[in-house]
Structure 1
Amino acid sequence: MVKNKNPIIAFLLAFLPGVGLMYLGKVGRGVLFSLTIIGSIPFGYVLNRALWMPEAFVLSIGAGFLLYVVSIIHTALTASKSVQQSEEQTAPLSSERFYTIILSMVPGLGHFQLGLMNRGVTFLASFLGVAAMILFVTFITGTGGFVVFLIILPVIWVYNFFDTMQLLNKKEAGEDLKDRSILEDFEDHHQGGKKSVVLATLLSMFPGAGHLYLGYQRRGVQLMAAFLFSIYILDALRLGIFLFLVPIIWFFSFFDGLQRATRHNKEPMEDEPIVSYFVNHQKWIGIALIFIGIYYPITNIVLPALAPYVNDYFQVNLYNLGQYMQTGIVCALLIIGGVKLLGGSKKKANMGEE
């Protein structure tokens, strides 16, 4: 047994084939696992080239992956044995901490290790239920746009992990843990008028969700609708040139949610909708809608219909013309936006001088 080895570091290093075992002092096993797993790729390639059997390459890769999983499990077991065999008084505590951290990789299992069944079931059911529902709706409707909702899963996972670590630290400090579900915590925060800044930050990863949690209903609904609608409309109308709007909406919603989370309970809450910013600019919104209405039928109906005839008579490929048009439109929009910003800054400067 090798002492003074951190089991958590060993487990993390196990994701590199054999390195975790080498860290624990099992150099021979680590080298064997490393060579076998990494060597499965060139070995399968050689078999495929020699026997002309693609199945041999697939089987070799599959065997290498199986050994990779076995090496991770073997490293975890070896690390846990080293913790259990330690003669230090902190061994039981370190063992529980190790198992809790490892199990917390799956939402809810870390809470089960701590004896919090209700809280663990809430996390596990939420994670699996959301994943199953999103995949089910995506499969039934045949609409890939619903996959965007999978962004909820890392939010649940991160919140589960930090909640497990917080409860583990409380238990190590000698505090009594109450087996309360997440819904009960939310209810207590709601009755007390307090909102969790950490939870609001995590929910802000999905546009509008953090705002809804903080009580900004109109602002949150508009941001969420803008994000989802932009993804759907750009995919349905094949307006790939406007895909840059999606990350802009996401970043605006995320940082706006962070700012409002930090100011919550410190300043009066004002649910100011996003749309109110554009009330005085309805003309530009109308122009944009008309432009989209003209652009879509031209690129998806007119150009494909005329492309064969134009190519036969004029030897011009309209599909390439469509690509050039997309690039030109993006450049024109950027130039117009820049000119508009420069014009606005000059007006403000003149007003300041007056």
Structure 2
Amino acid sequence: MEGMICMRRQRKGFLTWIASLIPGAGELYMGFEKQGVSLMILFWGSVALIAMLGMGWPIFLLPVIWFYSFFHVHNLKTMNPEEFYMVEDRYLLHMDELAKEFRSDKKGFFQSYRSIITILIILIGATLLWDGISSLIYVILPGFMYDVLWNIGNVLTKGVAGAAIIAVGIYFFRCTRKEEDQFRQEKMTRNQEEAQNSAAREFMAGTFGAAMNETEKGEMSFSGNPMTGEQDFTKNEVPVPQPLLGNLPIEEKEAEEKEESPKDCASEQVEK
């Protein structure tokens, strides 16, 4: 990667403008080899399909590829050096990943892209078949009959293309409606969850505040008679636990009183 970055060079001269006129050449001139090769394969591959197979529909790709390459080169030319050297050189349309996947597992590759490959094969086959039949009819039939059939073929082609476009539009419209309904449902569910969470937070905050108020009220010191259990509280003082004697059962209290009473009698006799 470092070697490829060192090969890059931002060029702004007249040769850059000349190279930008050829798809992929400007990128190669600045050192973006992967992008340049990708653009050349796309552009000249479309030209080869049009020339060798006689297909006219890939011609719409040529101006798109050309303008993309032209303005891409001039955008690279006008970047500051930091942005220029941060641009990643990679293949367009993930060509390298597709090639790697094809080499590693050909069967899995065809299964993954079976629908796209099928559509391309059908388009190419239908185009070639139509061109062959039209050429044969032109040789066999007289001129006016060929013109009639040619016009009918053009009308049918446009009708089939229009019907296909309408079908694709309806399909995307239905998919869009389903996605919108799903998005609305998810949004409603998300709003309900947020409302429940906010209500739970408010409830917890209120409960916590009430607990704090009770704690502040309970911050009082204890004073009183431990035998009777009478309590006097003074606010904002550290609470003191009740003596153990006040929490003793009644039987234990009576036993302690009996133990103390003989001692008191003996002391009175000694004094006398």
TM-score with structure 1 setting the length: 0.36
Between 1 and 2, higher relative CO (CA 8 Å, sep ≥ 6) is seen in 2
Query: Which of the pair has more CA radius of gyration?
Result: 2
TM-score with structure 2 setting the length: 0.45
